[in-house]
Amino acid sequence: MLSIIIPALNEENYLPALLESVKKQNFQEDYEIIVADAGSKDKTVEIARKYGCKIVPGGLPAQGRNEGAKIAAGETLLFLDADVRLPQDFFKKSLKEFKKRKLDGASFRLSPQTKNIFLRLSFNFFYNWPITIFQKILAYGAMGILVKKEIFEKVGGFDENVKLAEDHFFARQVAKLGKFRIVHSTKIYISLRRFEKDGWLKTNSKFFLCNLYMLSGKPVTSDVFKYRFNHYSKNKET
């Protein structure tokens, strides 16, 4: 079984698109969807229940993922952010490649939901190509991470003390115990709301400095970058 785990807080504007893309998958194997809700005040929980999701209390993303994993019945865990969408045959392609390459953990190339060609090329140049080229040297995982449950448990889950890029840090912990790579056969569609809300320069600078620090092998455990979970209003995709 595949367990899909989604941390969420006030995601009524984005969660339906993700869950709809999950339901439209041509996938014959058993799967479950677990939404770790961090106390939403909108219709997030109602929407999750409508789609047949299991609901658990969450918190910040790392805590939400860990809480979801505690009740997961699947041998394989797929962690997704609430504002992403999945392309057709995502499960079939990614799991087939995961097994064929004998991976213990994996992440995906990201495709921004925008018609702006410059932004899409920039995302490829500054994120997708580097994480693919250097995947054997330095593991990266964001927006979506696929991992064997036994490896997740050996790592100890996501470190809830990490303030920013806890997903990248998790990927590197998995890579110490097993084989972590980037899936080539499919990708994840992502929202640009973080960049639009906080500004492109500020957001990119924040993550550049964070990743630079993480090259030391240590995660960011102070709130120097002032990360906040859910301060995004619904933005129109360009």
Give the 3-state secondary structure of residue 11: coil
pLDDT confidence of residue 197: 75
Handedness of CA 78, 81, 82, 83 (dihedral sign): negative
Q: At 184, is the secondary structure helix, strand, or coil?
A: strand
Note the pTM of the prediction, 2 decimals: 0.90
Specify the 3-state DSSP secondary structure of 107. strand
pLDDT reading at 198 higher than 90: no
Give yes or no for residue 231 having a pLDDT over 60.
no
pLDDT of residue 225: 58
Q: How many residues does the chain have?
A: 238
The model's confidence at residue 212, banded by pLDDT at 50, 70 and 90, is confident
Using the predicted structure, report yes or no on whether residue 213 has a pLDDT greater than 90: no
Question: Is residue 119 pLDDT above 80, yes or no?
Answer: yes
pLDDT at site 237: 39
Per DSSP bridges, beta strands 180-190 and 31-37 are unpaired
pLDDT of 86 higher than 80: yes
Residue 226 pLDDT exceeds 80 = no
Q: What is the pLDDT of residues 43-79, one digit of tens each?
A: 999 999 999 999 999 999 999 999 999 999 999 999 9
The pair of three-digit structure tokens given for residue 38, joined into one six-digit string: 């961090």
Domains of the chain: 2-214 (3.90.550.10)
Q: Which residue has the higher pLDDT, 222 or 192?
A: 192
The percent of residues in the chain predicted with pLDDT above 70, rounded, is 94
